[in-house]
Every structure is written in C-alpha cells, then in structure tokens.
Amino acid sequence: MNADLVVVGSGLFGLTIAERAATELGLKVALLDRRSHIGGNAYSKKEEQTGIEVHQYGAHLFHTSNERVWEYVNRFTDFTNYVHKVYTNHNGVVYPMPINLGTINQFFNVAYSPAEAKALIQEQAGELAGTDPQNLNDKGIQLIGRPLYEAFIKHYTAKQWQTDPADLPASIISRLPVRYNYDNRYFNDKYEGLPVDGYAAWLERMAAHENIEVHLNTDFFEDGHEYSRSNVIGQVPVIYTGPVDRYFDFAEGDLSWRTIDLEQEVLPIEDFQGCAVMNYPDADQPYTRIHEFRHFHPERDYTKDATVIMREFSRFAEKGDEPYYPVNTSVDREKLLAYRDLAKGEDKVLFGGRLGTYKYLDMHMAIGAALSMFDNKIKPHFENGQKLEAGGVDA
Ligand code: FAD
Ligand code: UDP
C-alpha cells in the first residue's frame, strides 16, 4: 500500500487533515471521496449557461472569529469583502433578518428606541423572559417574544426541521443573533467573505500537495479498490469523515438527519430578488428560502441577461439521501453515545467532521476541529508513536 494515512471524505475536515499530514509531516495520503469532485458540501461550480458560481449543496458563507483558522484558510485563498445579509418575506412584506430594531419597528409599525424595543420584547416574552430554556420553542419566545417568534421562526423552523420545536435543542436558534440596533449583518464573526476565485479553486489548492493522491468516485465501503475498508482497517491509520452510523453498519440504529432538495432555475432577467437570500417563514410556501447566486459576488462582471436562483426544500433524509443536518433528538443523542463507545474500540481509526461526529459544524468549525485533531492525535502518533485512538467520536 502506497499510503501512510487514508482520509475518507474530501470535505473541509478531510482536506485539512490531508493537507497538514502531507505538508507538515511529509506523509503520503490517500484522500478518498465517493463523489466525483473534492470539497464535500462546500463545493461550487459555474452554472454553464450564465457562468454564475453556484454552490452545489446549498449556499455556503465563510465566517470565523478563530485567528488560527483565518490564518490557515488564507494560505489557500483570498476572500472578498462580502458581508452576508438576509431578508425575509412574511405575509408579502419584506423584513430584514436576523431580527433587529428595523425588523421590530417595521413589524409593530412603531419607531421604538433600543430601550423601548427591549421593554416590549421582555413583556412579550412573558413568563419566559430572563430564563434560559433548553428547547427551541421556549428559547425563541424568550429571545424575541411570541408575536415575532410566530411570524419569523415558528413555521420556518417547522419547515426546516419537521420536528416539534419543543423537541429541538435551543442551540439551533441561538445561532441567530437578535439585535436592538439597525445592524442586520447575518453573522457576528470578526472575519467574513467568499473565496475570491470560488470554492472549487480554494478546495483544489488544499489538495494540490504532491503527497496527496485523490481518489474520486471511490466509496470506502465498496471492495474492488486498494483503499477499501477491508484492505486498510488495522493496516494504516484512517481518518473517517463519513456518517458514523454507516461506519458501524447501523448497529445502534440510524441517526436521524435532514436533507434538502435544491431546485435550481435560470431566469432570463438580470435580478430576481435584489439580494442573495430571501427567507420564506410562512407555512404556505413549501420552501424555506431562495438563493440568488449573482449577489454573492457583486464584484464580478456577471451577465445581465440571466440570473440563477435556487429554492431550498427541507425534509427527513431517507437511506440514500445526502445527510445534511443532524436532527439531534434525545433518542439520537443516546445512539450517538453508543457509537462513541464503538469508536473507542476501533484500531487506528479517528472519526471527524460533520458526519463523523454527528455535529452541526460550520466550515470554520470543521477546519478548527481538524487542526486540533492533527495537533493532538495525528502528529504525536507519527512523530512519537502515541497510540492513535478515538477517545470517542470527538473530532
Ligand atoms: P462534508 O463537506 O460533508 O464532507 C464529507 C465528505 O465525505 C463528502 O464529500 C462525502 O462524499 C464523503 N464521504 C462520505 N462517506 C464516504 C464514503 N463511504 N467513502 C468516500 N467518501 C465518503 N458552513 C458554513 O460555514 N457556512 C455556511 O453558510 C454553510 N452552509 C451550509 C449549508 C448546507 C445546506 C449544509 C448542509 C452545510 C452548510 N455549512 C455551512 C456547513 C459545511 O458544509 C460544513 O461545515 C462542511 O461541509 C464540513 O465539512 P466536512 O468535511 O465535515 O463534511
Ligand atoms: N430560523 C428561523 N427563521 C429564519 C431563519 C432561521 O426560524 O428566517 C431558525 C431555524 O430554526 C434555523 C435556525 O434558525 O434552522 C438557524 O438558521 P440558519 O440560517 O443559521 O441555518 P442554516 O443556514 O444553517 O440552515
């Protein structure tokens, strides 16, 4: 076997491990992906007719406050100064998201100051004001009061998760800031932007090291190639970033995931909605949001004759669907603990990334986790013979 390390999955987690192992340790790395391209869900390509860059697996916005991750990603790409802003169409009226003073004043048709708006929301949060609820429903009401929750969150969340918000963790909604000023930046992070020459160029540069051999259209679980599970387990260290339940042949049951169906359309107009993302928080549209990709790159000289939009529909993943978002109910968490125990027993296999750890990871978190795994486990193993063990599914 011509590899010192096998990495299963070429998403940002796998790419970071492969790049570090090749560059810093000089290891020969076999990087496998069952898809026909590298980069996992961050991958993008130009739509053929218009030349507009389309994120194939849903819109991806890079943002981080982690200095180390920012320095690392800038080795492979420059970033534009794009700042993400989202609008939401409720009952045929467009409001800024995330909820800010502009949304509140427009919704209640008032001109409140920050203090007045806070007092109003406190009152509307009722008995939940000032508490720290654990589920999404109560957390939503506590954060923004019931009227705003019901307008902008309740049905959107129902469409997105098809799980009672009372059974969803509060952490999902805590991702969205609520601001008592007119700042409607979607993210709070220190750094933000899009890769100047596209995601594919960035991701390909990460895999460009001569010690990295990329094997596309190659499923780890299928025999008939050099790096299949049956050939490599126990022989050479493996970093596995596919679904953890699949690795163990679903022995502890299936973890539940949500997938999304993306409906792409090229329209013969310059501008469909005037912004990159419009959310649809009402129950009567089946989609959660529409992306219009030209707006991610206002600095590019795109055609004015056409635009590309993508409607996003969310549903439970069945076997064979792409697993996108971990649902993470209490039953899932029990199964995950059982998988973590199984992972500890695996010889020279580490589990990482969004699928391997069953965690909702943004790109910067996947990269940060991979850098930590490299420092704490992979490097000490190859340099000092430290035992390579999972210690659970812990990225
Ligand atoms: P992935 O990118 O999923 O890569 C895993 C790879 O493993 C895949 O390429 C898969 O084909 C491969 N694989 C799986 N099983 C096997 C197998 N058996 N054999 C071979 N290969 C296998 N993050 C942000 O920071 N900003 C955003 O705006 C954002 N938007 C998102 C929107 C959507 C719809 C989704 C789903 C995610 C979004 N993310 C966003 C998260 C981002 O996609 C992840 O952080 C990133 O993809 C994590 O990388 P990863 O390597 O863990 O997983
Ligand atoms: N959300 C909502 N209304 C919105 C936008 C978001 O209710 O207009 C909730 C919803 O539950 C969603 C969560 O906030 O799952 C996180 O939103 P985000 O936009 O961060 O989700 P992602 O881009 O990861 O799908």
> The complex's ipTM?
0.97
Pairing mode, if any, of strands 53-55 and 277-279?
unpaired
* Residues whose CB falls within 8 Å of the CB of residue 298, separated by 6 or more in sequence, listed in order: 82
Q: For residue 378, report the distance from its CA to the centre of ligand 1, in Å.
A: 21
Q: For residue 173, report the distance from its CA to the centre of ligand 2, in Å.
A: 7
Q: Is the dihedral of CA 187, 40, 278, 73 positive or negative?
A: positive
Most ligand 1 atoms within 8 A of CB, residue of 238, 250, 354 to mutate: 354
Taking Cα atoms as reference points, which of 191, 242, 195 lies closest to residue 45?
195
360 is catalytic: yes
Q: For residue 9, report the distance from its CA to the centre of ligand 1, in Å.
A: 9
57 is catalytic: no
What are the two backbone dihedrals, phi and then psi, of residue 126, each rounded to the nearest 5 degrees? 55, -135
Q: How confident is the model at residue 392 (pLDDT cuts 50, 70, 90)?
A: very low
Q: Which two tokens stand for residue 178?
A: 């609520």
Q: How confident is the model at residue 391 (pLDDT cuts 50, 70, 90)?
A: low
219 is catalytic: no
Q: For residue 154, report the distance from its CA to the centre of ligand 2, in Å.
A: 10
Residue 389 has a pLDDT of: 83
Q: Which CATH architecture has domain 5-81+194-254+327-384?
A: 3-Layer(aba) Sandwich (3.40)
- State pLDDT tens for residues 110-137: 999 999 999 999 999 888 877 888 889 9
Rounded Cα–Cα distance for residues 43 and 145 (Å): 38
- State pLDDT tens for residues 310-356: 999 999 998 889 899 898 888 999 999 999 999 999 989 999 999 99
Residues with CB under 6 A from ligand 1: 8-14, 32-35, 40-42, 57-62, 219-221, 241-242, 260, 324, 353-355, 361-364, 366
